[in-house]
Structure 1
Amino acid sequence: MRVCWDRRASDEIQEQRGSFDVERLMKKIGFLSFGHWSDAAGSATRSASDSLLQAIELAVAAEEVGVDGAYFRVHHFARQQGSPFPLLAAIGARTSRIEIGTGVIDMRYENPLYFAEDAGAADLISGGRLQLGVSRGSPEQVLEGYKYFGYVPGDGESDADMARRHTAVMLDAVSGVAFAEPNPNPMSPHPGGPLRIEPHSPGLRERIWWGAGTRATAVWAAEQGMNLMSSTLLTEDSGVPFHVAQAQQIAAFREAWKAAGHEWEPRTSVSRSIFPITTDLDRAYFGRERNSSDQVGHIDGGVGVFGRSYAGEPDELIEKLAGDEAIAAADTLLLTIPNQLGVEYNAHVLESIVKDVAPGLGWR
């Protein structure tokens, strides 16, 4: 792990952030669930049914305690949530305010037009509350799993290139671009001219996020007009602390967005594992995380930097989190949760962050 860094890098971030400081102080706070289930000892989420139904109940509980978003990780061939849109639609039907999203959907596995249909339907059910994070994805449970779904990179194309190609088609479809030649003798009337994917949900295009692991992919996301989603993992090691590198990523994204001249204001999110210790049960679960630090390792054939977890009493957390430059730079904070500890416990953690920690940092 590298512990030395140049203060000038931090000063540059502060200068670039400039006028954003007041705007970014207030945070949208969401949770990010990986949706694990297992029948291991201590698991309160023992089946796929448990994982899905508890996700709905946790979103309802999170809305009640003032959380702003319910987000879900998507993995295939794993005991996790692999098909997000039925879950997102169900949460949309049970809630009224909370944002509902993904972090992230692996576009190597996606039919972009089917994606647009499912996304449009779920967004309409929720009243326009979807925030969909997509990306090239991360290492999966099986080798080249996207091939089992029928997707193979073209000649000279990598799997990452294929994911971006799928994303480009999806963005056009979600935007409402009409492209399909109509049948002159249709089974039902149509307006004539090229047809678009239906149902179309106006505004959804501006609520698509790209999960970026590097500064270069953050810049690319800005150029494509997607919001920036940065997780607890970066796939490059720039030699500075994780939160500083992530803040640099956000600064590069904003600069590229401005240069691209998009007509709407982008959003940026970072993910963190944060656990207030207010009970003996909290201490038993997360007391050992008090001295967590960034970790450098290897993932998917390259270097990965994993951000630290934060655990401590609320006052202790407020002091630690005040120095996190990426959280300060982002407008949205996604809290990774241990979903297998059950709905009641996770609702307790979220409520403690919203009521005991966020106000002390000016997020509420």
Structure 2
Amino acid sequence: MSGPSAPLRKLGFLTIGLFDEADPRAGHEATLKIIELGEQLGFDSSWVRHRHLQYGISSPVAVLAAASQRTRHIELGTAVIPLGWENPLRLAEDLATVDVLSGGRLNPGVSVGPPMHYDRVRRSLYPDTADVEDFSYTRVRRLLDLVRGEPASDIEGFEGFEEFSRRVQPHSRGLADRMWYGAASLRSAQWAGEQGMNLLTSSVVKAEEATDFAEIQLSHIRTFRAHHPDGDRARVSQGLVVVPTDTATPTQRSRYEEYARKRTPRTASPQGPARMMFAPDLVGPSEVIAERLLANVAFREVSEVAFALPFTFEPADYVQILTDMATRLAPALGWKPAG
């Protein structure tokens, strides 16, 4: 097996954080324990998804606030917060607060576009402004400016006994450098690069110039870096569904393989009017997965990953998968745990 062009430098994982409606605390606690396990295993980062009006994490920033108090070293990210659901000013305050609490470990990933099922939630989400809300890149620019310390108000100084600031407080230095954009198209990749953000590229992309997933992802990475002030040094994290089976039981292995088999047909060709392409899930021994990753032209362009955990597995499955990732798969890719 030939080595990668550069060793894997940062190892991360992504979880959706499912819970049972009858006992939501148990699911959230399980997610926090998985993040704690990730730190114990030496992972560099842990990322959470969002799921509005579903049985997954609806408030990733709140969950990461809790995680920040249970961990000391692992970086904590969102992949991604859809800004169509958010007020940029309030979100900037929340992000800065959690970053301060975590000691500067927050990595907020965001995206734009109308909220999912907007026609069904608009009256609850924006009862008075639904027809004029701007879901374009401008919404991200507003958030970036506020995180970077641009004025949010023209009020400054004392009014009686109360002191006011023109910019969002707390202001967390360095947070702006850890803002990520989740891009699935060439246009989004270019825009993220022009803004000086970091790039999250996941297991879903838009088929614009090709129908080979890795080639599409590679074009996004190179387009992003071509337009980023840091060029080839600009940070990119690749997210794929990766399930090593080295220490899995026969029952677990069979279930993992069946999960991937059911999802494989959607990887054969672009799906739907938007022509979305899905990456195949990588299931098997770490040595086999490592060989497939090293042959992946997009993987060879990155030194950071956030491998996605499958949605519907059990806590014991995640323990086995993360342990195999950290102790078998990642070392085969050149990774060494920090410290």
How would you bin the TM-score normalised by the shorter chain?
Answer: 0.7 to 0.9
Matched, 1:319 2:295: no
Q: What are the within-5 Å matches in structure 2 for residues 1-364 of structure 1?
A: 24-38=6-20, 47-136=23-112, 140=116, 143=119, 145=121, 148-150=124-126, 152=130, 154=132, 162-182=135-155, 186-190=159-163, 195-257=166-228, 261=229, 265-278=233-246, 279=248, 280-288=250-258, 289=260, 292=264, 294-299=267-272, 301-338=273-310, 340-364=312-336
Are the aligned partners of 1:292 and 1:310 in contact in 2 as well (CA < 8 Å)? no
CA distance in 2, matches of 1:147, 1:108: 14
* CA deviation vs aligned residue, 1:154-182 (integer Å, no higher than 9, x gap): 3xxxx7x5242221111111011134122
Aligned to 1:3: none
Are the aligned partners of 1:35 and 1:80 in contact in 2 as well (CA < 8 Å)? yes
CA distance in 2, matches of 1:230, 1:114: 26
Q: Which residue type is aligned with residue 32 of structure 1?
A: L
| Unaligned ranges ≥5, structure 2 | none
Q: CA, structure 1 residues 25+153, in 2 after alignment: closer, same or farther (shift >3 Å)? A: farther
Are the aligned partners of 1:71 and 1:103 in contact in 2 as well (CA < 8 Å)? yes
Are the aligned partners of 1:77 and 1:142 in contact in 2 as well (CA < 8 Å)? no
Give me the identity figure in percent: 27
Q: Which residue type is aligned with residue 152 of structure 1?
A: A
Q: Which residue type is aligned with residue 190 of structure 1?
A: E
Compute the TM-score of the two structures, normalised by the length of structure 2.
0.87
Q: CA deviation at 1:75?
A: 2.4
Are the aligned partners of 2:211 and 2:277 in contact in 1 as well (CA < 8 Å)? no
CA distance in 2, matches of 1:256, 1:169: 20
Q: CA, structure 1 residues 122+141, in 2 after alignment: closer, same or farther (shift >3 Å)? A: same
Q: CA, structure 1 residues 84+265, in 2 after alignment: closer, same or farther (shift >3 Å)? A: same
CA distance in 2, matches of 1:341, 1:274: 13
SS of alignment partner, residue 210 of structure 2:
coil
SS of alignment partner, residue 308 of structure 1:
coil
Q: CA deviation at 1:38?
A: 4.3
* CA deviation vs aligned residue, 1:218-273 (integer Å, no higher than 9, x gap): 0011111111111111122432420121011101111111xxx3699531111111
Q: CA, structure 1 residues 144+231, in 2 after alignment: closer, same or farther (shift >3 Å)? A: farther
Q: CA, structure 1 residues 308+326, in 2 after alignment: closer, same or farther (shift >3 Å)? A: same
SS of alignment partner, residue 181 of structure 1:
coil
Are the aligned partners of 2:10 and 2:44 in contact in 1 as well (CA < 8 Å)? yes
Aligned residues: 326
CA distance in 2, matches of 1:237, 1:188: 58
Q: CA deviation at 1:298?
A: 3.2
Q: CA deviation at 1:313?
A: 1.6
| Unaligned ranges ≥5, structure 1 | 1-20, 40-45
